[in-house]
Amino acid sequence: MTRALFPQFSGLWVPLVLARDVPKAKPLAMTLAGEPIVLFRDADGAIHALMDRCPHRGVALSLGKVEGGEIACPFHGWRFDGDGYCRHVPWNPDAKLETLSATPLPLREAGGLVWLFTGRDAVGEPAVPAAFLLPGVRVTAQSFHWQVHWTRVMENMLDTPHLPFVHARSIGKALRGRTAEKMVMNWHPTDHGAEIVAQRAGEAPRSSLRYHFPNAMELAIDPGGRVLRLLAVCSPADAGATRLTIYTIRDFARLRWLDPLFARANRRIAEEDRAILESSQPAEVPPASEEHSVATDAPTLAFRKIWFTRIRPGGG
Taking a C-beta distance cutoff of 8 angstroms, is the pair 297, 198 a contact? no
Burial of 58 per CB tally in 10 Å (0-12, 13-18, 19+)? exposed
Interatomic CA distance for residues 100 and 290, integer angstroms:
48
What is the pLDDT at residue 1? 45
pLDDT tens for 228-250 read 999 999 999 988 899 999 999 99
pLDDT confidence band for 12 (50 / 70 / 90): very high
- Measuring CA to CA, which residue among 118, 150, 141, 130 is closest to residue 242? 150
> What is the reported pLDDT for 316?
37
Residues 6+ apart with CB under 8 A from 94: none
The angle subtended at Cα 231 by Cα 138 and Cα 44, nearest 5°, is 55
Q: Is the pLDDT of residue 264 over 50?
A: yes
pLDDT computed for residue 10 by the predictor: 94
- The neighbouring-strand residues paired with 231 are 218, 247
Across residues 262-274, what is the average pLDDT? 97
pLDDT, position 206: 81
Tell me the percentage of the chain whose pLDDT exceeds 90. Answer: 89
Percent of the chain with pLDDT over 70: 98
Closest CA to 248 of 234, 236, 260, 240: 260
Looking at residue 93, its amino acid is P
Angle between helix 259-277 and helix 150-157 axes, rounded to 10 deg: 120
pLDDT at 22: 98
* Per-residue confidence (pLDDT) for residue 315, from 0 to 100: 43
Is 288 within 8 Å of 301 (Cβ atoms)?
Answer: yes
Determine the pLDDT at residue 288.
96
Report whether pLDDT(291) > 60.
Answer: yes
pLDDT at 265 over 90: yes
- E strand spans, the chain: 13-18, 28-32, 35-41, 47-51, 65-67, 70-72, 79-80, 86-88, 104-105, 107-110, 113-117, 138-146, 183-190, 193-200, 206-212, 216-220, 228-236, 242-250
Amino acid at the residue 226:
R
Tell me whether strands 193-200 and 206-212 are parallel, antiparallel or unpaired: antiparallel
| pLDDT single digits (tens) 156-212 | 999 999 999 999 999 888 888 889 999 999 999 999 999 999 998 878 888 899 999
pLDDT for res 248: 98
The predicted pLDDT at position 2 comes to 60
> Taking 80 as the threshold, does the pLDDT of residue 313 lie above it?
no
pLDDT at 314 over 80: no
Query: The dihedral of CA 245, 246, 250, 253: what is its sign?
Result: negative
Indicate the length of the chain as a whole number: 316
The mean predicted confidence, pLDDT, of the chain is 95
- Which pLDDT does position 302 carry in this prediction? 98
Q: Using alpha carbons, select from 90, 51, 47, 92 the residue that is nearest to residue 69.
A: 47
